[in-house]
Structure 1
């Protein structure tokens, strides 16, 4: 098993998810997406993710990244569409800034990387930040920092593992989701691979009534528009 090659691929997938789930006002902000798609298509995780990646690539070719920006608004910002929680705490407790954020922040403090608080509004358990952090930790591990790889393992097992399936399901079933429906297919295949590679069992957590209500209530509307994030503001 070529662990270095596998870790390089893992890092790239996390970057891909972070870029797809972040908002960029310019096409340049999505350059990594355009670069990574043919790489993933040449060696896909499975048939389903191959078809999903191909669909994303074709839609970008025909409609451009302006279509992705418009869909981001409809899926994550519009008060007229179903609400998708973006923090691990929300999936755990039905609210942001819960115990998952505390645990995630503690793991970040154990690493040699820090959130640039003046520039980055995302909390440590927000999906975009988590994906970016995972990529950074894995890259550091490739360079020989074994502790970073250990922290990436812990972060996936204790933060992402319990919420990533629910998150992918909400992306897949959202009524405005096209780009993100296909992103969810790839995310699910990748999270299954991560569990296999890291020897992490799927979460068996039984959802509380409060948590279920928060996650699956399709007509829930946010109280205000959520701020668009710029991934470049997340300094790790």
Structure 2
């Protein structure tokens, strides 16, 4: 793991920024911190696309109220009249909530002194907001000398975040109601590509579409396959000459 304090400070800023777009604690100071983080990134963006996206986001946000941000968030993740975007790693891994990826996250959390504040944060531990915020805190702890967390940071990125972040970002970017968050995904894309290089983690291979389960037993499925094959052969031959099997 590379030991670059200034670079790690910048990584923590990005993780904090993204987390603040997905975790809302009802505190106005959090929103003002989000605006400050955007201004900080605008001064030293990862690339030209990120600079344009940051500028677009700042132009759409009210400097005194998070109402516009909250409205779009609800449109993307809670509005029953639009396609809701799922936010957990388990869903993108198994099409279920609270699956194996949540168990993995709980195991990683258990290796640290950090814990989810259940009174303030109600989402699962493998939700995008929690993962991003957790990564920011671990990087800050590492920068403060707790290098034992470097391996945990690498593992969470490689085994959890990296596995579903592209699919999640694509869902947000392509959503009909996405505007602020569409620009955010541009910044996120550049940052994730940077993280893959920095942590030496490869982009995952595209997943095959999960086929709907038919709930048939193996015996019934085999019977249907045999019938299908027989029908493909055409009309049955006469068995009077003994040429057909039973």
What's the TM-score, normalizing by structure 1? 0.84
Q: Can you list the C-alpha shifts for 1:87-143, whole angstroms capped at 9, x where unaligned?
A: 000000011111111111101111121223354322211111101100000000000
Match for residue 179 of structure 2?
178
Superposition RMSD in Å: 1.9
* Pairing 1:27-46 to 2, within 5 Å after superposition: 27-46=28-47
* Pairing 1:220-231 to 2, within 5 Å after superposition: none
CA–CA distance in structure 1, aligned partners of residues 66 and 143 of structure 2:
31
CA–CA distance in structure 2, aligned partners of residues 135 and 48 of structure 1:
23
Match for residue 76 of structure 1?
77
* Pairing 1:188-203 to 2, within 5 Å after superposition: 188-203=189-204
Match for residue 234 of structure 1?
none
Q: Can you list the C-alpha shifts for 1:185-233, whole angstroms capped at 9, x where unaligned?
A: 111111111000000000115234259xxxxxxxxxxxxxxxxxxxxxx
CA–CA distance in structure 1, aligned partners of residues 139 and 63 of structure 2:
34
CA–CA distance in structure 1, aligned partners of residues 150 and 3 of structure 2:
15
Match for residue 11 of structure 1?
12
Q: Can you list the C-alpha shifts for 1:7-65, whole angstroms capped at 9, x where unaligned?
A: 10111111111111223556433111111111101110111111000100111158952
Which one has more relative contact order, counting CA pairs under 8 Å at least 6 apart? 1
CA–CA distance in structure 1, aligned partners of residues 63 and 149 of structure 2:
40
What 5-or-longer segments of structure 1 have no aligned partner?
Answer: 212-236
Match for residue 148 of structure 1?
149
* Pairing 1:1-236 to 2, within 5 Å after superposition: 3-23=4-24, 25=26, 27-61=28-62, 64-204=65-205, 206-210=207-211
Indicate if the aligned counterparts of 1:93 and 1:210 stay in contact, CA closer than 8 A. Answer: no
CA–CA distance in structure 2, aligned partners of residues 164 and 111 of structure 1:
23
What's the TM-score, normalizing by structure 2? 0.80
Q: Name the SS for the 1:209 alignment partner.
A: coil
In 2 relative to 1, CA 173–36 (structure 1 residues): closer, same or farther, beyond 3 Å?
same
What 5-or-longer segments of structure 2 have no aligned partner?
Answer: 213-246
CA–CA distance in structure 2, aligned partners of residues 42 and 119 of structure 1:
32
In 2 relative to 1, CA 2–103 (structure 1 residues): closer, same or farther, beyond 3 Å?
closer
CA–CA distance in structure 2, aligned partners of residues 118 and 63 of structure 1:
26
Indicate if the aligned counterparts of 1:23 and 1:72 stay in contact, CA closer than 8 A. Answer: no
In 2 relative to 1, CA 136–25 (structure 1 residues): closer, same or farther, beyond 3 Å?
closer
